[in-house]
Every structure is written in C-alpha cells, then in structure tokens.
C-alpha cells in the first residue's frame, strides 16, 4: 500500500486548568528521523514516543512537540541569557564607536531586548500529567498515520500519465492491426495526450492552498472570508484533478475530498 511521508496529527486535552497539546508533523526524508520536544520533567517519555513513531512510520522526518500552557501545568519563571546580553552590549559599543554616538549603554537599554530576559513555564513533575501526555501523543501519531495513508492514495498520480500512454497506444495498435506507419509521430501524440492527464501541478497548488488555510485558521484577525476563498480554490483544484485523471482510485479520492470540503464549508459559514 502506498503511504505518503507527509502528514499531521494534533490532540489536545486539559489537566486541571492547564491546556495540553501534542502535535506531530512529518515530511519527506530518505530515512526515518524522529525529533521529540518535551518539557524537561517528561524526558522519560522520549523513548516511548520514538518507539511509537517507529511502529507507525518507516521513512520521513517526524517532529513531535508537547505544549503545556497555563494553570497548574507549570510554574512561571524568568530566564536570563547572559551570553546573549554580552553580545548585545558588545555590538552596541561597536555601533557607538563606529557612528561616534554619545550616551551610555545602560541596563535599561540592554534588558529591553526580548531574547535576553524571557518568561517561561516550568511544568511540574506529575505522573498523571505524564500519562495524559503519552495518551495524547499516541492518538496524535495515529491521526498522522491515517493522514499519511489517505494522502498515499494520491501516490497514484505519477503513474496515471504512463498508464494513459500505454492504454492509448494499445488501442491504436489494435485499430491499426500492428501496422504503424509513423511510430515516432504516434509516440509524440501519445505523450501529449498523457501530459494532459498529469495532475502534478494541481496537487502542488492544492497542497499550497491547504497550508495557507491551516495558517489562516490560527490568525488573530477575522478569517471567515479568507477561509472561504481558500475552500473555493481547493474545490477548483479537486474538480480539475477529477476531470483530468482517468483513474478509479483517484476518482474515489476526489469524491471523498469533495465531501470533506463541503463539510468544512458548512462550518465556515459560521466563522466571522
């Protein structure tokens, strides 16, 4: 079975008044590579997650990130990056000498740079919280695997053009009884026919629209009209794919995609 190496999974839960989010993303990679980002107190889950990733994926780079926000999920603390502060101070002194500027470089100026003093959440060490994170992580990996499998059906796309070429050539040879007067010309015409069945360009645009749609969802501004526009663009690409690709597997995927787009469109009608 063909499976895509790109996918996404996300699960969210609550622990008291803390929001727990686990996100898993995968992209193309020659081998299997896993990157796990966990709170310090949950380092023991790293091997468990890596094992689960190996069970669901054989290739691709997989990034799993755990986010804990607010509430009893952690204590807030200030972090000082002294090395960065020294670099800022040195650069400011160099700038002052270069431009022959007056004035002093004081603590107020240096501390004003965001990445010198930061506020971070330090999660508490609680076995129940760790179990919740592990459960959400495994569910997110399952969602990732389903998406990779679903997108894998589109792996039929590269073979569609070649199959169209062979299929039409076989029909022509049958009609002509094997006596083809100008084989190079026939191959040229068949290649043009096969190219019209190629849906690679539509898939690239569809993927770009989906990425933009996802980014827009998390925007702080009013996004209803923008999301509706991306849905229209995705629908246009899906329709083109369905009309160009003369393939049963892709046709079934197109029907399913249209149904999903319609469900999303119904939800978007209520978005400002």
What pLDDT score does 189 carry? Answer: 62
Tell me what pLDDT residue 63 has.
93
**pLDDT in the model for residue 157:** 59
Residue 136's pLDDT is what?
A: 95
What is the pLDDT at residue 194?
A: 56
Tell me the pLDDT band of 176, cut-offs 50, 70 and 90.
Answer: low
pLDDT in tens, 118-175: 766 555 567 888 999 999 999 999 998 888 777 665 565 555 656 666 666 676 666 6
Min mean pLDDT across 108-117, 139-148, 149-158, 242-251 is at: 149-158
Q: How confident is the model at residue 54 (pLDDT cuts 50, 70, 90)?
A: very high
Q: Report if pTM > 0.95.
A: no
- Give the pLDDT mean for 249-267: 87
- Domain spans in the chain, listed from the N-terminal domain onward: 7-74+122-152, 82-115, 155-268
Which CATH class, in words, describes the domain spanning 7-74+122-152? Answer: alpha beta
DSSP per-residue letters across the chain = ----S-EEEEEEEEETTEEEEEEEEEE--SSEEEEEE--GGGGGGHHHHHHHHHHH-SSEEEEEEEEEESGGGEEEEEEE-HHHHHHHHHHHHHHHHHHT--S---HHHHHTSTTTEEEEEEE---HHHHHHHHHHHHHHHHHHHHHHHHHHGGGGHHHHHHHHHHHHHHHHHHHHTT--S-HHHHHHHHHHHHHHT--HHHHHHHHHHHHHHHHHHT-SS--HHHHHHHHHHHHHHHHHHHHH---HHHHHHHHHHHHHHHHHHHHHTT--
């Amino acid at each position: 079975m063909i499976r895509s190496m790109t996918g996404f999974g996300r699960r969210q839960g609550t622990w008291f008044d803390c929001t727990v989010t686990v996100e898993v993303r995968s992209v193309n990679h020659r081998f299997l590579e896993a990157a796990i980002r966990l709170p310090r107190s949950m380092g023991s889950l790293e091997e468990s997650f890596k094992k689960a990733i190996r069970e669901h994926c054989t290739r691709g780079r997989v990034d799993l990130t755990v986010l804990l926000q607010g509430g009893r999920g952690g204590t807030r603390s200030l972090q000082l990056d002294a090395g960065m502060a020294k670099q800022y101070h040195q650069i400011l002194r160099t700038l002052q000498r270069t431009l022959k500027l007056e004035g002093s470089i004081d603590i107020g100026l240096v501390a004003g740079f965001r990445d010198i003093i930061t506020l971070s959440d330090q999660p508490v060490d609680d076995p129940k919280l760790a179990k919740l994170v592990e459960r959400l992580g495994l569910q997110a990996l399952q969602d990732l695997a389903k998406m990779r499998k679903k997108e894998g059906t589109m792996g039929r796309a590269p073979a569609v053009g070649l199959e169209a070429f062979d299929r039409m050539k076989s029909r022509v040879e049958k009609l002509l009884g094997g006596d083809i007067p100008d084989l190079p010309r026939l191959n040229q015409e068949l290649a043009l026919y096969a190219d019209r069945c190629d849906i690679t360009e539509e898939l690239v645009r569809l993927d770009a629209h989906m990425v933009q749609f996802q980014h827009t969802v998390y925007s702080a501004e009013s996004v209803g009209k923008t999301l509706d526009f991306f849905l229209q663009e995705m629908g246009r690409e899906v329709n083109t794919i369905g009309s160009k690709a003369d393939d049963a597997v892709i046709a079934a995927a197109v029907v399913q995609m249209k149904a999903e787009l319609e469900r999303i469109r119904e939800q978007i009608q209520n978005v400002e």
